[in-house]
Amino acid sequence: MPAIKMAATTRYFLPGTTKILVCPAVASLTVGPTRTELNAGTDISEEVAGVNGWMITSESMATPDLGVRFVKQVTGRLTAADSSITTWSDKAGHDIRELLDIDQETFVVFLDGGDVTASPMDVYKVTVASLGKVREVEGAGRIETRFTIRNFAENLAVPT
């Protein structure tokens, strides 16, 4: 009997679909943000020029023993990649700098399938580490906001 095939994915293009919200409060990471908490956030999607990191990975730990030459491994601590969001800057400063400050604690919510009920979302409790100005000879002004991830919840359902 052949193996059961995984269900086919509905592939999508991130631009125009994914939403990124900055929410001032989320009462429970376990349950996820309520509709009221999401609505209290700021949708920064149309100002995002780049996203980096936002991936939780597990360390591997070697567990050697005297009985065999092969060194087995077990999963270890979870860690967060260095994470940032780059947004467009405004000549007069009417940009992400009006929303975020260094050392501010907030929540970043990724709604990869859009703000669609029951679609998966990832929520990160973060501290703003820096708001760096990207200056290049070629290109428009941008602000690279770096975050330290303090806690997270993945694959939560977007509420109605």
> Residue 38 in 3-state DSSP?
helix
- 2 belongs to a structural domain: no
- 9 belongs to a structural domain: no
- Residue 10, pLDDT score: 87
CA distance 67 to 64: 9
- Non-local (6+) Cβ contacts of 160 within 8 A are 35, 117
- 13 belongs to a structural domain: no
Element (H, E) at 37: helix 35-39
- 73 belongs to a structural domain: no
- Residue 102, pLDDT score: 98
Q: Which range of residues forms the domain containing residue 126?
A: 19-55+81-157
The pair of structure tokens assigned to 149 is: 């991830």
Region 129-149 average pLDDT = 95
Region 1-21 average pLDDT = 91
What amino acid is encoded at 101 in this protein? D
- 63 belongs to a structural domain: no
Q: Domain tally for the chain?
A: 1
The pair of structure tokens assigned to 55 is: 């991936």
Model pTM score: 0.91
Region 17-41 average pLDDT = 97
Residue 124 has pLDDT above 90, yes or no: yes
